[in-house]
Amino acid sequence: MKKYATLIIGVLLIWNTVLTFEYVGVKNLLDTLELTGEVKIIREVDTEFTTNFTKVVADNLAKVVGVSNYYQTELVSTGSGAIYQFQDGNVYIITNNHVIDGATKVTVTFVNGEELDAIVVGSDKFTDLALLKVPVDFTIEPENVFNIGDSSLTKVGETVLAIGSPLGFDFSGSVTMGIISGTDRIVPVDIDGDGVDDWDSIVLQTDAAINPGNSGGPLINMAGELIGITSMKIADSSVEGMGFAIPINEIVPIIEQLMANGKVIRPLLGVSGVSIDTMPSAQKSFYGIQLDLKKGIMITGVQAGSPASKAGLKAKDVITIFDGITVTSFKQFRRLLYGKAVGDTVEITYVRGTTTYTTSAKLE
């Protein structure tokens, strides 16, 4: 028994010696670090995630409003808006055209719950934008007006926030988070509801949740800058997380025109037309269009005294090239035309029968 006790005591003494050496080694290491001032980072942990996001939200909630569309005294629909400017006692708010379309009365509800009548300064169906003016008897501080960002700098994968009033004002100030899923997306839009696409909207794609009532609300980056106005989403049982916002760089020129003129002034050529790419051969033959002509628009009407009329264009002519760019469809032609300014002179190539001509027109 004594033999075992001696053995145990010996083992404990050895273990105690080992621990002593370990302690001395660690102490010497700490003393060395203390003398040299060297700090060794084992792992860096980000603890600011919640703080950063909540600060961006808190700084921008008061810049978002609810927009109500009334027909007579009946509330038809609600949407959202972003405070764009405060000037001479008036708050200017950006929203979507479809939010206020058909309204006989529009009101705006601020973050404090105050509802005031709004004046529609102007709207534009092609870009789906509208500008509201709300006379107020209080001051909107600069920090409650959105800082305008630069949507051309937006990157795929960048974190963004959408703020608005989904499904009505019971959920006002709702915030959803996502990323930029794509930039410069082209989404066809049927403006007049005839089943034919009239316009191609250039939009930012995001997976931040966008629901009915979010329309017209802001899409902001992590600097709190307004980079877009949420406008649409793909609503399909097989699709999830595909929402779209109008980029702020597309918005500002339109809003500036609405503020200055009450409408968007676009150049006029004075033609109506249809794309020939969907025409069957029999229809082409009926109108005297060459069967091997695949792209262009056939003119269906020319406005008297218009630039097109002065340039010699006639019904049944097929415009194939507009100012150096091949024409593929009427909606593409419309975008090319609206990309010009009043007073610009453009060169137009067209086919009449079997002969190709070139003319020029000064847009009005």
Select which of 123, 128, 165, 174 is catalytic.
Answer: 128
Tell me how far apart the alpha carbons of residues 73 and 103 are, in angstroms, rounded to a whole number. Answer: 10
**Which of these, 121, 152, 86, 83, lies nearest to 257 by C-alpha position?**
121
H or E stretch at 26: helix 2-36
- Per-residue burial over 186-202, b if 16 or more Cβ lie within 10 Å, else e, is ebebeeeeeeeebbbbb
Structure tokens at 166: 């989904």
- Confirm whether 98 is a catalytic residue: yes
**Which of these, 94, 90, 46, lies nearest to 215 by C-alpha position?**
94
Select which of 215, 231, 275, 329 is catalytic.
Answer: 215
Query: What are the counts of helices (DSSP H) followed by strands (DSSP E) for the chain?
Result: 7, 19
Select which of 98, 181, 275, 329 is catalytic.
Answer: 98
- Confirm whether 46 is a catalytic residue: no
Task: List Cα–Cα distances, 163 to 66, 115, 172, 353, in angstroms.
Answer: 10, 18, 8, 55
Residue type, 98: H
| Catalytic residue numbers, as ranges | 98, 128, 215
